[in-house]
Chains A and B, each alone.
Chain A
Amino acid sequence: MPAVQETVERVKRIDVDQYRYGFETLIVSEKAPKGLSEEIVKFISQKKNEPDWMLQWRLEAYRRWLTMVEPTWARVDYPKIDFQDIYYYAAPKPKKAVSSLDEIDPEILKTYEKLGIPLREVAMLEGIEPKVGEEDPARRKIAVDAVFDSVSVATTFKAELKKAGVIFMPISEAIREHPELVQKYLGSVVPTSDNFYATLNSAVFSDGSFVYVPPGVRCPMELSTYFRINERNTGQFERTLIIADKGSYVSYLEGCTAPQRDENQLHAAVVELVAHDDAEIKYSTVQNWYPGNSEGKGGIYNFVTKRGDCRGANSKISWTQVETGSAITWKYPSCILRGDNSRGEFYSIAISNGFQQVDSGTKMIHLGKNTSSRIISKGIAAGKSQNTYRGLVTAHRKATGARNFTACDSLLIGDKCGAHTVPYIEAKNSSATFEHEATTSKISEDVLFYCIQRGLSQEEAVGLVVNGFVKDVLQQLPMEFAVEAQKLISISLEGSVG
């Protein structure tokens, strides 16, 4: 079978390339010692073979960080973090090699099944490798198919992106290959001094994505599609930078509906978006980190700074997020509407169950004339969780004709959870038009009984009602993820009703 043979060859070649590429500059040690110091920052920079300017940038951030204190204003409660008790560098650990689906935890397989993720993709996501001399033909087929798919699809994508002139690579590579772009834009939206966690990220960021779309180019694919297949280990301090040059368009999806397990408890990512004149960026997130166990122990702390800068006239940035995981979420994807007639959007579904705590929302900062923004936030609290929407809408003196529409809806399931809405609204000129709507409701027994009388189980009924509640936001997601996200929402709420 020549096709298969060719694939195997290709895979071999790629493995060899990656090996050479990845290891020629690496020092033997895998992990830096615990704690943070100038030495560690230097170590990380050296490990990544960074130019001196990058090291200096990190060090400046580190020195700034030493003078800062953790923010305490969010409505979340957790034991104080000992920042000297954390590893700040660990080489991306390859997933434990498994050669067939049989070796994967059946619980995890069940979740994939509920999400409707095809087995072939499960094989990829779980990193199944073909075993030489494997006897069972069924098993072998899965493994070979998986490799065939991921390699060929990824290769096609790369060629297509290159043809369009889109730069899409790990930020660690971009620092070396496109220093002029990285130097120009890194920290220009979220400065190193921005806030405690963003500053920490600037000092120690591990890796992330870099995207540059040249003028007038419409990115030929959803970068989500690519990502799904190339899910990479970016570490706990992810750094993403996306630039849409004049008149360009790009849609990017971060994360995965599949369960994400990670040994690192603290995650502090920074995402910066820059949209020039007439450009549009659509950024979607599905976050499904480990939320902690049924007693509220463990779980990821997710302290993220995401901000987009509508730098040019008529530019547009749209954030869509589905947040179902993490023990603590502290996250406010924001838009700076600097260019005249620019537009910012924020669509959010935040689900909390068990002992999860969510404090999330957005900031729409109107600076340019006739700028507009729209916020649709759907918070769902179940179990003993606390779910807060915190949002700022502000129009500066010169932002004449600024408009905002905000709708914040909260849904409570059960009587031990809480939903909170904390809007900040500031208009510094009289021509701004701001509308704010907010509702809080409890999932009604009558509605549930109606569904159950029609044959749905209690959990199916909750899933259906909640999916109806969040429909406006789900529609904003790229198609293939909307379906999965819908299922994810139902799974996240399992066991939430009596």
Chain B
Amino acid sequence: MALLEVKDLKVRVEEREILHGLTLTVNEGEVHAIMGPNGSGKSTLSHVIAGKPGYEVTDGQILFKGEDLLEMSPDERAAKGVFLAFQYPVEIPGVATMNFLRTALNAQRKARGEDEYSTPDFLKKVREVSKSLNIPQDMLKRGVNVGFSGGEKKRNEVLQMALFEPSLCILDEMDSGLDIDALRIAADGVNALRSPKRAMVVITHYQRLLNYIVPDVVHVMSKGRVVKSGAKELALELEASGYAQFEDA
């Protein structure tokens, strides 16, 4: 059974159809890259999978571990193992990162019927995880993303991914706003989380990111559909010839 199956998905935003019948299958352990020009519907797809309000699904379905994802609230999806790394992580002033992580992790555990972490157990876990990702403890004491650099914000996303141990990670334009060093650090973090039990969907404009996070499958999106799929070499091809060839498709 595939981990994620998107079948003939049609999505509208305020009367305008953005996705016109998109189909995508992702298996456990695979890393898929979704590439495409601005406005092709890449971010819409990530938002609909995560359950962001404001999108109307008019047709098709999304199955996650065989269950109908569209029937679940966004927090239920999170507890089931869907994680979205945001293109622009928000700032939450006054809420210490540590407190945020604990509240979120325990909310997920509670939803799954697992025991919540006690404070000492949680501290132990978060220290282990942040150490393995080379994230300074000091960052955890600051307000969530408040005053973080672009690189720190993305590392905070990776930290959460490591801590929540989702089975599906969607990385939305992870490379935006990062210089090459920050990009490498963030990508190293993501690579460390690759596992046979976990799938990743990497959404990006540029081939650059895929030098660091090497995908198993590359999909090209244009005008709300997947127009071509192939192995990682497809990304290089695109880099050379651009998206124009698909624009008229």
Residue positions of A touching B, CB distance < 8 A: 444-447, 449-458, 460, 464-465, 467-472
A456 touching B93, Cβ below 8 Å: no
C-alpha spacing A449/B95, complex, angstroms: 16
| Sample of 7 more A-B contacts, CB < 8 Å, known A449-B53, A452-B73, A464-B100 | A445-B54, A453-B50, A455-B105, A455-B111, A456-B75, A456-B103, A457-B75
- List, in ascending order, chain A residues with CB within 8 A of B90's CB: 444, 446-447, 450
Q: Which of B57-65, B78-86, B212-220 contacts A (4 or more CB under 8 A)?
A: B78-86
A456 touching B107, Cβ below 8 Å: yes
Between A and B, 11 residue pairs with Cβ closer than 8 Å are: A445-B53, A452-B51, A452-B78, A453-B75, A453-B86, A457-B75, A464-B100, A465-B92, A467-B94, A468-B92, A468-B143
Given contacts A445-B53, A449-B53, A468-B143, contact A454 B104 (CB under 8 A): yes
C-alpha spacing A242/B75, complex, angstroms: 49
C-alpha spacing A452/B108, complex, angstroms: 10
- List, in ascending order, chain B residues with CB within 8 A of A457's CB: 75, 107
B94 touching A469, Cβ below 8 Å: yes
B86 touching A450, Cβ below 8 Å: yes
- List, in ascending order, chain A residues with CB within 8 A of B94's CB: 467-472
- List, in ascending order, chain B residues with CB within 8 A of A468's CB: 92-95, 143
B52 touching A455, Cβ below 8 Å: no
- List, in ascending order, chain B residues with CB within 8 A of A472's CB: 94
Given contacts A454-B160, A455-B111, contact A449 B74 (CB under 8 A): yes
B100 touching A449, Cβ below 8 Å: no
- List, in ascending order, chain A residues with CB within 8 A of B73's CB: 452
Shortest CB distance B64–A (Å)? 14
- List, in ascending order, chain B residues with CB within 8 A of A452's CB: 51, 73-75, 78
- List, in ascending order, chain A residues with CB within 8 A of B79's CB: 455
Shortest CB distance A413–B (Å)? 15
C-alpha spacing A469/B104, complex, angstroms: 18
C-alpha spacing A460/B107, complex, angstroms: 9
Given contacts A447-B92, A450-B89, A464-B100, contact A455 B50 (CB under 8 A): no
- List, in ascending order, chain B residues with CB within 8 A of A449's CB: 52-53, 74
- List, in ascending order, chain A residues with CB within 8 A of B92's CB: 447, 450-451, 464-465, 468
B218-235, CB under 8 A of A: which get 1 and which 0? 000000000000000000
- List, in ascending order, chain A residues with CB within 8 A of B93's CB: 468-469
B78 touching A455, Cβ below 8 Å: yes
Shortest CB distance B191–A (Å)? 22
A455 touching B164, Cβ below 8 Å: yes
C-alpha spacing A453/B108, complex, angstroms: 10
Most chain B beta-carbon neighbours within 10 Å: one of A467, A468, A469, A471 = A468
Shortest CB distance B100–A (Å)? 7
- List, in ascending order, chain B residues with CB within 8 A of A469's CB: 93-94
Smallest CB gap from B105: residue in A: A455
Shortest CB distance B201–A (Å)? 15
Shortest CB distance A154–B (Å)? 32
Shortest CB distance A450–B (Å)? 5
Q: Which of B75, B89, B143 is the one whose CB lies under 8 Å from A455?
A: B75
Smallest CB gap from B88: residue in A: A446
C-alpha spacing A444/B160, complex, angstroms: 21
- List, in ascending order, chain B residues with CB within 8 A of A455's CB: 75, 78-79, 104-105, 107-108, 111, 164
C-alpha spacing A444/B210, complex, angstroms: 33
Closest A-B pairs by Cβ, 3 of them: A468-B94, A468-B95, A455-B108
Shortest CB distance B88–A (Å)? 8
Q: Which of B53, B78, B91 is the one whose CB lies under 8 Å from A454?
A: B78
Most chain A beta-carbon neighbours within 10 Å: one of B50, B89, B107, B164 = B107
A464 touching B95, Cβ below 8 Å: yes
- List, in ascending order, chain A residues with CB within 8 A of B74's CB: 449, 452-453
- List, in ascending order, chain A residues with CB within 8 A of B143's CB: 468
Smallest CB gap from A409: residue in B: B93
C-alpha spacing A447/B146, complex, angstroms: 13
- List, in ascending order, chain A residues with CB within 8 A of B104's CB: 451, 454-456
- List, in ascending order, chain B residues with CB within 8 A of A460's CB: 103, 107
Smallest CB gap from A466: residue in B: B94
C-alpha spacing A451/B104, complex, angstroms: 8
Smallest CB gap from A474: residue in B: B94
Shortest CB distance B142–A (Å)? 12
Shortest CB distance A380–B (Å)? 13
Shortest CB distance A136–B (Å)? 30
Shortest CB distance A489–B (Å)? 12
- List, in ascending order, chain A residues with CB within 8 A of B78's CB: 452-455
C-alpha spacing A455/B73, complex, angstroms: 10
Smallest CB gap from B100: residue in A: A464
Smallest CB gap from B101: residue in A: A454
C-alpha spacing A450/B90, complex, angstroms: 7
Smallest CB gap from B107: residue in A: A455
B125-141, CB under 8 A of A: which get 1 and which 0? 00000000000000000
Q: Name the interface residues of B88-120: CB closer than 8 Å to any CB of A.
A: 89-95, 100, 103-105, 107-108, 111
Most chain B beta-carbon neighbours within 10 Å: one of A445, A450, A453, A456 = A453
Most chain B beta-carbon neighbours within 10 Å: one of A449, A458, A465 = A449
C-alpha spacing A453/B111, complex, angstroms: 13
- List, in ascending order, chain A residues with CB within 8 A of B105's CB: 455
Shortest CB distance B78–A (Å)? 4
